[in-house]
């Protein structure tokens, strides 16, 4: 009688890739390698380092459960419960958006502005989700501090844990709240130096046309921007203006094709200087604005 050997890592990755390809999943080999190697506690390079490593029964069961989830189109980041953003690791949960690489455009643009303001900047993040934007910024600005608010209590808990894991909890806090209500000021009652937001901006009718990885797994309130995708901007721009220092910066992520409309909303709200930053695909991804109006300067600076 021959006793069959447990599969090797190489065999497992090949078999998982075949099953993902049969299900029509894009980049099946990349996904298979990332998923299996991560579940075994390594990076994708584990496959090159130890192709002959044999999986234990419990490892094979873990891989099988994860593959079943991927076949239901759950993104790998959600299966693993974590995502890298700005070279930092963020935990995710069902109430957090899976951070997108395009959102690094906002981080870069805010850092460019901050480089000309040698101060202990105070940041407010509206709709902070996993905390990726605020924590990436605070990690680059050693004297900065900030507050993230989100309507989803689970996201607040996860962002708080992310701040702790990244050693940034002393300078970044997260609380439940909504931009539909009055926004907080800094602890000392002053206006913020920087307000950032990546609000929900997908037009409601477009959500069901998105990949299932997005439409079925990102929380609806992280995606749904109302009929034209702009509801959150209409609500939060005047609120942000009211708690932002006159010479401060408002930075908003926008969807493809929304920059002109959001610029218009900012100008209506009294922002005098408005500019955009493009993502790696050349799309205007972030709209930035300052409100250096004389009346506001004397009122809040
Ligand atoms: C597109 S996600 C962005 C999350 C995170 N900042 C990021 O970039 O990955 C939008 C976030 O806004 C939150 N949100 C939606 N409506 C809100 C409201 N009225 N007030 C506060 N947060 C809200 C959602 O829960 C979600 O976390």
Element at 148 (helix H, strand E): strand 145-150
Give the residue whose CA is nearest to atom 17 of ligand 1. Answer: 151
Q: Which atom of ligand 1 is nearest to the CA of 179?
A: 20
Instruction: Name which of 230, 228, 229 is nearest 266 in CA terms.
Output: 230
Domain 9-72 bears CATH identifier 1.20.1740.10: no
Q: So what's the pLDDT on residue 58?
A: 95
Q: Helix, strand or coil for residue 48?
A: helix
The H or E element containing residue 172 is strand 172-176
- Are 244 and 251 spatial neighbours (Cβ–Cβ below 8 Å)? no
Q: Which residue has the higher pLDDT, 293 or 265?
A: 265
Give the Cα separation of 132 and 138 in Å (integer).
Answer: 10
Cβ pair 250, 288 in contact under 8 A: yes
Residue ranges per structural domain of the chain:
9-72, 82-300
**Ligand 1, residues at Cβ distance < 6 Å:** 97, 99, 103, 127-130, 132-133, 149-152, 155, 178-180, 198-200, 221-222
Three-class DSSP labels, 243-281 = CEEEEEEEEEECCCCCHHHHHHHHHHCCCCEEEEEECCC
pLDDT score, position 299: 37
Atom of ligand 1 nearest to the CA of 128: 6
CA of 66 to the centre of ligand 1 (A): 27
pLDDT, mean of residues 87-99: 98
Residue 286 C-alpha from the chain's centroid: 14
Q: How many angstroms separate the CA atoms of 111 and 107, rounded?
A: 6
Q: How close is the Cα of 46 to the center of ligand 1, in Å?
A: 36
Nearest CA residue ID for atom 12, ligand 1: 127
CA of residue 165 to ligand 1 center, whole Å: 21
Arithmetic mean of pLDDT, 54-82: 97
Name, in order, each residue with C-beta under 8 angstroms of 92's C-beta and a sequence gap of 6 or more.
Answer: 77, 78, 81, 82, 83, 98, 130, 158
Dist. CA 99–CA 279, nearest whole Å = 15
- Of all protein residues, the one whose alpha carbon is nearest to atom 13 of ligand 1 is 127
Strand partners, 277: 286
Cα 22 to averaged position of ligand 1 atoms, centre (Å): 35
Taking only the tens place, the pLDDT of each residue in 231-260 is: 999 999 999 999 999 999 999 999 999 999
- Between CA 179 and CA 187, with CA 182 as vertex, the angle to 5 degrees is 105
Pairing of strands 284-290, 273-278: antiparallel
Nearest to 91 by CA among 167, 162, 166: 162
> What tens digit of pLDDT does each residue of 4-45 get?
788 999 999 999 999 999 999 999 999 999 999 999 999 889
CA distances from 150 to 31, 192, 197 (A): 31, 17, 10
pLDDT band at 301; cut points 50, 70, 90? very low
pTM higher than the cut 0.85: yes
Instruction: Calculate how far, in angstroms, residue 95's C-alpha sits from the geometric centre of ligand 1.
Output: 9
Ligand 1 centre distance from Cα of residue 201 (Å) = 10
Best residue among 97, 101, 177, 243 to mutate for probing ligand 1, ranked by most atoms within 8 Å of CB = 97
CATH topology for the 82-300 domain: Rossmann fold (3.40.50)
């Amino acid at each position: 009688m021959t006793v069959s050997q447990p599969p090797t890592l190489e065999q497992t990755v090949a078999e998982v890739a075949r099953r993902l390809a049969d299900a029509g999943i894009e980049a099946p080999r990349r996904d298979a390698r990332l998923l299996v190697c991560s579940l075994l506690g390594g990076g994708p390079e584990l496959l090159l380092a130890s192709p002959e490593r044999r999986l234990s029964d419990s490892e094979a069961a873990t891989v099988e459960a994860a593959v079943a989830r991927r076949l239901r189109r759950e993104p790998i980041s959600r299966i693993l419960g974590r995502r890298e953003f700005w070279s930092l690791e963020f935990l995710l949960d069902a109430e957090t958006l899976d951070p997108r690489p395009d959102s690094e455009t906002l981080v870069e643009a805010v850092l460019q502005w901050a480089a000309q303001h040698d101060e202990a900047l105070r940041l407010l993040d509206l709709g902070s989700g996993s905390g990726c934007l605020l924590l990436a910024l605070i990690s680059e600005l050693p004297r900065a501090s900030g507050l993230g608010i989100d309507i989803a209590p689970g996201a607040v808990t996860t962002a708080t844990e992310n701040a702790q894991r990244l050693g940034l909890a002393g300078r970044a806090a997260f609380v439940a709240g909504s931009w539909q209500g009055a926004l907080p000021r800094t602890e000392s009652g002053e206006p913020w130096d920087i307000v950032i937001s990546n609000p929900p901006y997908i037009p409601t009718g477009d959500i069901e046309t998105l990949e299932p990885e997005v439409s079925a797994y990102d929380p609806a309130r992280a995606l749904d921007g109302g009929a034209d995708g702009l509801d959150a901007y209409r609500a939060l721009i005047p609120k942000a203006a009211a708690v932002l220092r006159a010479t401060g910066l408002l930075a908003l992520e926008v969807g493809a094709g929304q920059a002109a409309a959001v610029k218009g909303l900012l100008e209506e709200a009294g922002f005098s200087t408005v500019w955009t930053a493009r993502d790696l695909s050349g799309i205007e991804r972030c709209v930035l604005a300052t409100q250096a109006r004389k009346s506001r300067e004397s009122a809040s600076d």
